[in-house]
Amino acid sequence: MRRGSRAGLVLAALAILLGLVGSVGSTPAPASADTIRDREYWLDDYGIRAAWAATRGAGVTIAVIDTGVDATHPDLREAVVGGADFSGAGAPNGERPVGSDSEHGTLVASLAAGRGSGEGGGVLGAAPAASILSISVGFGSDAVDSDDQIASAVRWAVDHGAEVINMSLTRNTPDWPASWDSAFLYAFDHDVVVVAAAGNRASGTAEVGAPATMPGVLTVAGVTRSGQASEEASSQGITIGVAAPSEELVGDLPGDRYASWSGTSGAAPIVSGIVALVRAAHPDLDADDVIERVVATARDAGPPGPDVTYGHGLVDARAAVTAAVPHVTANPMGDLRDWIRLHRRAPATAPPLLTTPSTPAPAPVATPAPEAGRSVLDGLYPTWAQARELVLPVFVVVVFAAGFLLVLLLGARRVLGARKNR
């Protein structure tokens, strides 16, 4: 079994503070459910709560490819509807968190589709009526090859009804293995929207890495509570589609706990939830049009037009769900199939052996046998017809030229004789 991968996968969470604490270093203290809900500033600031007037995402399934989701958490108990493990270390249903950052998948899932708990308590995700598929993958040298895990996880998610796939992880390199080509094409060909985190500078991701660099993927950058580009909890790159909050976040932890945290790992599931809202409100739209609604309605930030920091701007859930957006015929985030055609070269093949030509050899032309009474040497001499057509014209030219020369010689002789007589 192959272990690890050349680039390795990194989770796109920057910091997780256990419990809800006032500052780093203070003693974690239990927080009331009201305090948790009150900290979800993005629900109002990014039009999410307003979009709920139209839909809360019911009927849409979001696959969270991560460390696994604790489906026993009160906020997620009714949200997780299935899953699988590709790490070799988790539960068959993907609901046992794995790895050293095992809480990561539960945090991510809560921001996408947390149900809350009780009356006004717990974490509400951007699409609180959407369903979650918990797909656990492992990271680090002790894991099954992480690239292979991702390729298999993407295909499994598609085959089990995911309409949105959230990937809050990065390879920290812009390139990706060829196995991802076919897996992500499989998702795109089955009308699935793939959302990926841009990564965090503080974690070593200065520029976006795969899967956020892949054409067709909706890449999410991170901003502060005031909507400014995050210095630490974001990255930059030309493939960024939109930006969402990545600082001062709150989410679920395994074991009925909560945490303050930051990173584009949180920005991505907020956008995945918004994508689910769009899909629920517009079930007739394909993935390309769904992504177009998200990017076309984003509030421009930074320099006018798309840029490497905010992409098309700050995501706006209400506008994405309700605005009039023209139909598109292609994914606004690019075409992976075109990229493969341009950048992947076919594997070299050995030249064919001479005894087995790649194209059929021409059939030999039969040579007619000599007629009776003729020698095989007869073909070396011209026939009378050939002589008439070729030899006679040449003979006439030669005779004429000889006569002309004879006349010239006789004329010259007479001239010389006349001079002597003088």
- Residue range 259-288, pLDDT digits in tens: 999 999 999 999 999 999 999 999 999 999
Predicted pLDDT at 368: 39
Is 20's pLDDT higher than 50? no
Q: Which is higher by pLDDT, 237 or 377?
A: 237
Predicted pLDDT at 24: 24
Predicted pLDDT at 407: 66
Is 410's pLDDT higher than 60? yes
| Whole-number Å distance between alpha carbons of 60 and 275 | 9
Which among 116, 103, 106 has a CA at the least distance from the CA of 83? 106
Q: Which of 101, 104, 148, 262 is catalytic?
A: 104
Minimum mean pLDDT among 181-195, 214-228, 375-389: which range?
375-389
Predicted pLDDT at 11: 72
Q: Which residue has the tokens 């006569």?
A: 403
Minimum mean pLDDT among 124-128, 199-203, 322-326: which range?
199-203
- Residue range 202-249, pLDDT digits in tens: 988 888 999 999 999 999 999 999 999 999 999 999 999 999 999 999
Predicted confidence band at 78 (pLDDT cuts at 50, 70, 90)?
Answer: very high
What is the H or E stretch that residue 219 is in?
strand 218-223
**Over residues 14-24, mean pLDDT:** 36
Cα dihedral across residues 177, 182, 188, 190: positive or negative: negative
Predicted pLDDT at 384: 42
Predicted pLDDT at 411: 67
For the chain, how many helices (H) and strands (E)? 12, 14
Q: At what angle do helices 336-343 and 178-189 cross, to 10 degrees?
A: 150
Predicted confidence band at 23 (pLDDT cuts at 50, 70, 90)?
Answer: very low
Which among 237, 243, 335 has a CA at the least distance from the CA of 295? 243
Homologous superfamily, domain 10-343: Peptidase S8/S53 domain (3.40.50.200)
CB neighbourhood size of 304 (10 A): 7
Q: Which is higher by pLDDT, 178 or 392?
A: 178
Token duo for residue 44 = 């109002």
Per DSSP, which regions of 235-390 are E strands? 240-245, 249-253, 257-262
| Whole-number Å distance between alpha carbons of 75 and 55 | 19
265 labelled catalytic:
yes
Q: Which of 265, 288, 312, 316 is catalytic?
A: 265
Minimum mean pLDDT among 167-171, 179-183, 358-362: which range?
358-362
- Residue range 278-316, pLDDT digits in tens: 999 999 999 999 999 999 999 999 999 999 999 999 999
Is 1's pLDDT higher than 90? no
Which among 241, 194, 201, 141 has a CA at the least distance from the CA of 12? 201
Residues 6+ apart with CB under 8 A from 58: 129, 130, 280
Predicted confidence band at 13 (pLDDT cuts at 50, 70, 90)?
Answer: low
Predicted pLDDT at 51: 98
**Over residues 395-402, mean pLDDT:** 62
3-state secondary structure (DSSP) of residue 132: strand
- What are the domain boundaries of the chain? 10-343, 382-421
| Whole-number Å distance between alpha carbons of 102 and 68 | 7
Predicted pLDDT at 419: 54
| Whole-number Å distance between alpha carbons of 363 and 52 | 75
Predicted pLDDT at 347: 53
| Whole-number Å distance between alpha carbons of 259 and 21 | 8
Token duo for residue 276 = 């689910």
| Whole-number Å distance between alpha carbons of 62 and 129 | 11
Which among 119, 127, 49, 111 has a CA at the least distance from the CA of 252? 111
Q: Which is higher by pLDDT, 180 or 370?
A: 180
Residues 6+ apart with CB under 8 A from 130: 56, 57, 58, 59, 60, 61, 62, 79, 112, 113, 273, 276, 280
Cis status of the peptide bond prior to 211, with omega within 30 of 0: yes
Predicted pLDDT at 395: 59
- Residue range 330-372, pLDDT digits in tens: 999 999 999 999 999 755 444 454 433 443 434 333 433 333 3
Minimum mean pLDDT among 104-108, 170-174, 376-380: which range?
376-380
Q: Which residue has the tokens 């920091």?
A: 309
Q: Which is higher by pLDDT, 130 or 406?
A: 130
Is 29's pLDDT higher than 60? no
Q: Which of 66, 85, 181, 289 is catalytic?
A: 66
* Burial category of 273 from C-beta neighbours within 10 Å (exposed 0-12, middle 13-18, buried 19 and up): buried
Phi, psi angles (nearest 5°) of residue 10:
-125, 135
Cα dihedral across residues 304, 308, 309, 314: positive or negative: positive
DSSP string, 333-354: T--HHHHHHHHPPPPP-PPPPT
Kindly give the pairing relationship between strand 80-85 and strand 61-66: unpaired
Predicted pLDDT at 206: 87
Q: Which residue has the tokens 């001479």?
A: 354
| Whole-number Å distance between alpha carbons of 164 and 166 | 7
Amino acid at 324: A
Percent of the chain residues past pLDDT 90, beyond the cut: 68
Is 414's pLDDT higher than 80? no
